[in-house]
Chain A
Amino acid sequence: MQDKDSEIAGLKARLAEMEDTLRAIRGGEVDAFVMDGKDGKRVYTHKGAEEPYRVLAERMHESAVTLASDGTVLYGNTALSKLLGRPLQKIVGSNLYDFIAPTSRGALQSILLEPLAAGRRCEVVLRCANGTHCPTLIATALIPAEDIRAVTAIVTDLREQRRMMELSASERFARSVVEQATEAVIVCDFAGYVVQMSKAAESLLRDARGMHFSDVFHQAIDWQSDATAFASMASDAVRSALNGQAVRNIEVTAKNTPEELRYFLLSAGPLLNSNENPAGCIVTLTNISDRKAAEVRQRLLMDELNHRVKNTLAAVQSIASHTGRSAPDMQAFRSDFGGRLLALARAHDLLTRQAWQSAMLRDVLRGALAPYLCGGRDRIQIVDGPRIQLTPNAAVTLGMGIHELATNAAKYGALSTTTGKVTLGWKLSHLSEGDLIEIVWRESDGPRVSAPSRRGFGSRLIERGIASEFGGKVEMDYRPEGFCCTARLPLSEKAYL
């Protein structure tokens, strides 16, 4: 028991002694210290330490420097000379402040002001002889010189580390660029294995990372037919890119479902390494199905427009032909044809306003009579009835028919005198066989009326139009006190509430 106590006391004493020694070393209070070596105890003085340190420092890959507190270089190793690009003779004895960037002066100063505080580190940018700047990490180590207070430091070149950091940052950046791309982007290595895909590519081809490109388009794709043609085109493109030959915007199609054809633009380009050799390739698939669909829509619209224009031209042709048959002379032709053409144009205006879907009956009638409705004391009075919609063809026919009634009235009827009047109105009658729209054109206070000797374009147009467009009937009553025209048409899909 007593042995154990004395052993513990002995150990404690040695521990205290060692701690004192360490404290003294740290504080720079000792000039020499004793260490157990393999040949027994050895005394290291600063002088004695210098030689092995020098040997070690010379062989070190990293730069080592011993600095006086004012920055004077007391010692530097070969690596430092290489780093600075200057011979050692020009370094030793110079001041290190001369070899650093102005921005690093503060950092160096903070080390030198506490020369013996070992283990301090700071970043200092060296100015090398070739004019380049070199970021370094200076870490102080305590190996005190004999006579003067000095600090020894290891200078680590940070260029490589920086380069690696930049590289990894740029790689992260490139990775996120690829991932976030809205197009399907696939990156292959030099052997053709997929190393990276964008999210869009994943949703198209599933996760194909690690797969060989020749399998990607075959296996990962869910396209039922055309897959083979598509895969072989895609594989050819990748192969060509890996050989350094870019392939740009080939149009490929793939069937997503039997009904839905999808269109893609396929591009593949080589990724070159620093020796300008292909180190892989990047493949993009741009979905152009929407663009294609828009093109098809556009073509349909153009077709429809062409059809409409041709039909309108045919209508104009018919108007010209009929006007030519009935007009007694060229002047009559010009004025009749011009009036009819304008009536047709007004009907078209109404339809365009409603996207060529329908037109209101009241607008059609007012449009057709526009030249006679100048505001104020109109000779034609329109009595509005219920709201009724007309299909495009029905609207054109009815508008043209009303125009004919008005021109006839102006030539031979109530509007040919100063006193005559016209009343136009419509109403809905509920009959046992269905609802009927009744449109009545009634002339009064004009000249005495007699039936015409032959039927003109106007009355044919009205009778034919009401019959064929609406399945209705027209009654023309040439009563002496005033002409009256009544059109009765059933409510239908062509004329509806």
Chain B
Amino acid sequence: MNELSGLRILVAEDETIVSLMIEDLLLDAGATVVGPAPSVRSAMDLLLFQAVDGAVLDFNLGGEMIVPVADALTSRQIPFVILTGYGPARVNTHYPKATVLNKPIDVQNFAGAVFRSFRAAAAQP
């Protein structure tokens, strides 16, 4: 299972314990993790200085919405999935097309869902 092999994936997650799990899941799928960034600012900094092929973003980073990071990724046509504990409704009002994955994470299907989402984004014009 190396669906994400060779991809550099930015992780933005403010809870350290959760970020360790996301990191492990991505590493297991063959990806290289950029971050994890615990705040919007540090995620933006990482985007400035590091090459990124995709991103896994927690919707709420320490009370801040991920919006600036998602917008920056969109403008660079970098695919991303959004993780949230709020349920998809709130995220969809901001990013109707984004793939939303719920917390707690469906561990078995996580890497596959990220992979499919990235592939679908790449297929779009």
Contact = CB atoms under 8 A, between A and B. Distances in A.
Interface of A: 303, 306-311, 313-319, 321-322, 325, 391, 393, 396-397, 400, 457, 460-461, 464-465, 468-469
B21 interface: yes
Q: Which 3 A-B pairs have the closest CB atoms?
A: A310-B85, A318-B21, A314-B103
Interface residues of B, number: 25
B17 A315 contact: yes
A325 B27 CA distance: 14
6 contacts: A306-B87, A311-B85, A318-B20, A318-B21, A400-B17, A469-B16
A496 to B, nearest CB: 15
A315 B19 contact: no
A469 B21 contact: no
Contacts of A465: 16
Interface in B27-48: 36-38, 42
Nearest to A468: B38
A319 B17 contact: yes
Given A461-B20, A468-B36, A317 B15 contact: no
B17 A321 contact: no
Given A306-B85, A309-B85, A469-B38, A317 B21 contact: yes
A313 B38 CA distance: 19
A176 B102 CA distance: 59
A310 B103 contact: yes
Nearest to A340: B17
A310 to B, nearest CB: 3
B81 to A, nearest CB: 15
A309 B87 CA distance: 12
Nearest to A494: B62
B90 interface: yes
A311 B103 contact: yes
Nearest to B14: A393
Contact of B15 (A303, A315, A321, A322): A315
B16 A314 contact: no
A306 B17 contact: no
Contacts of A460: 20
B107 interface: yes
Contacts of B19: 464, 468
A397 B16 contact: yes
A397 B102 contact: no
Nearest to A310: B85
B64 interface: no
A393 B85 contact: no
Contact of A396 (B15, B102, B103): B15
B105 interface: yes
A322 B16 contact: no
